[in-house]
Every structure is written in structure tokens, then in C-alpha cells.
Amino acid sequence: MSFNINEGIYPLHHTKIIHLVRHAQGTHNVASELSPILLISEKYFDAEVTPLGWEQVDNLQKHLHASGIFKNTELVVVSPLMRTMQTAAGAFGGGVLANESDVPPLMAENTGGSNRPAVSSLNCPPFIANELIREHVGVLPCDRRRSVTEYKPMFPAIDFSLIETDEDVWWKPKIRETDEEIAARGVKFMKWLLTRKEKEIAVVTHSGLLHTTLGKYGDDTHPAIKEEMSKKFGNCELRSMVIVDRGMIGSDTSKTNFPGKIPNGADGPSRVVDQ
């Protein structure tokens, strides 16, 4: 008997839920709508979230709480650029920092000229920056990051320990990453996610990274699912997906499986009856 199987069944402990988020509208997005040539200007270096972008962030935060995503998220991984860290802090942070708080804020007051209050790092997941999920690097100043030394006072509670160099050594003024190069970074990042102990992770990153990376997955699915996965993200759009470790990259053991057969006793297979 032959079977036409379209389903994929995997052990739960070899999967993770990932919430993929593109940053809110940045000043460079507005400029690009006017004329893409504007993006070569230093005016848009490390672009910040716009006032409209902050409205998008506030709406995303409401959705995260209403849907239960915020409660279940164990880690937030963020691209080390102003617009992504602003988006992540505003959406996944602990709300307005109380004046009497003695913990470092997730985002300092008025960071990036945002005119926003400081964001608390209490009652929210831990945040870690990862350069693998940066936007295409090179040529455009909007995609060049500041030094880690500059970022730390602005985002005191974000963990920058994975960033290997203080200054941005990836960005080149005359060479821009190809789609294949950024997709390779994205696939490497997905493998890194599988090594993490957390089971539900939010990733705040960029349109180019998401579009090119997700385009490398889904070839074994229905074309409509492949199209759904890899279509371009809007500003502050969130899509939740499941990543499956099919190559034993991680080393998780199940926290829900139960061995059964307690107390010990006869446990012969039912097919013995047929024999």
C-alpha cells in the first residue's frame, strides 16, 4: 500500500517557535519612498524609527500582549541597529521605566531623538544583539551601525556580548552584500537559534534579511505555503513560525515525554494476536 503523505511530524523537543518581526518605519523608509537615491546620504546613517513607526510599535505591543506571545517569549534577538533595537524595546520591553527603579533601562529616555520615555527591563524577556541578522551591509549609510560603546548607554540592558568588534567592520562604502551572501548569514543564524535552550524566541530584524533567508526554506511544501513564507514583510509586521531541528544541531531533551510501562509488566505488541 502506498501513501501520499504531505504532513510533517517531528518530536516537539526538536522544534522551536520563532516570532519574526521587521522593524517599524524608519526615516530611511520615508526617504526611499521619495527617491531611493536619497539613501546614499549620511543624513540617514543608522536610521531611527519615525513618529508613525512608533505608532506601529505601540500597536504591535498591544497585539503581543493580547495574543499571549509576550507572555510566552523567552528571548528577544535583535539586529544591532538603532531602528531594530528601538522597535524591539518598545514592543517587547517592560513598559515605561519607573523613576525609582534601580535596574538599568532597556532603552534610555529619548534614544535616537525618539521623544520616548525610558523603557523598563523588568518583567520582559532578556535581549541579545546578533550581527548575523543585520540588513544588507555596505554602500548605504542607513545600514551602518554605531559602535557598541555608543549603543550601550542608549540600550543598557541589551546584551552585546556576541558583537565581536566595537566598530562596524562589516560595512564597506563601495561594496554591498549580495542576496546570496545575506541569505547565507540568515541560514547560519537559524542554525544558531537551534543551539539555544529557549523554546519560544522573538527575532527583530530587517526586510532584506527575512525575505532572502525565508526564500531558502519551504521547497518541500505546497507552493502557496512557500509563497506565504517568503513574501516581503511590511514595517512592524510579525509572523510566527516553527523551526525544526532535522539534523540534531541542538541537544534538547524532551520535557514532556513520559516513559510509560510503570510498574513493569507484560507489554507485548498487539499484532501478536494477528499472528
Full DSSP string of 7-59 = -----GGGEEEEEEEEPPPBHHHHHHHH-GGGGGSGGGTTPPBPHHHHHHHHH
Residue 266: band (very low, low, confident or very high) from pLDDT cuts 50, 70, 90: low
Find the mean pLDDT for residues 60-86: 98
23 is a catalytic site residue: yes
Query: How far is the C-alpha of 178 from the C-alpha of 181, rounded, in Å?
Result: 5
Q: Does domain 12-274 have CATH number 3.40.50.1240?
A: yes
Q: What is the pTM of this model?
A: 0.93
Residue 265: band (very low, low, confident or very high) from pLDDT cuts 50, 70, 90: low
What's the confidence (pLDDT) of residue 258? 86
Does residue 178 carry a pLDDT above 80?
Answer: yes
Which residues neighbour 102 within 8 Å (Cβ) at sequence distance 6 or greater?
A: none
Does residue 19 carry a pLDDT above 90?
Answer: yes
What's the confidence (pLDDT) of residue 253? 85
Catalytic residue among 23, 136, 206, 211, which? 23
Catalytic residue among 19, 135, 136, 206, which? 135
Residue 270: band (very low, low, confident or very high) from pLDDT cuts 50, 70, 90: low
Give the pLDDT confidence of 106-127 residue by residue, as tens digits: 999 999 999 999 999 999 999 9
What's the confidence (pLDDT) of residue 236? 98
Residue 275, CA atoms < 13 Å, CB-side half-sphere: 5
Give the pLDDT confidence of 120-167 residue by residue, as tens digits: 999 999 999 999 999 999 999 999 999 999 999 999 999 999 999 999
Residue type, 126: P
What's the confidence (pLDDT) of residue 69? 98
What's the confidence (pLDDT) of residue 3? 80
What's the confidence (pLDDT) of residue 271? 59
Does residue 103 carry a pLDDT above 60?
Answer: yes
Domain ranges of the chain: 12-274
Find the mean pLDDT for residues 259-264: 74
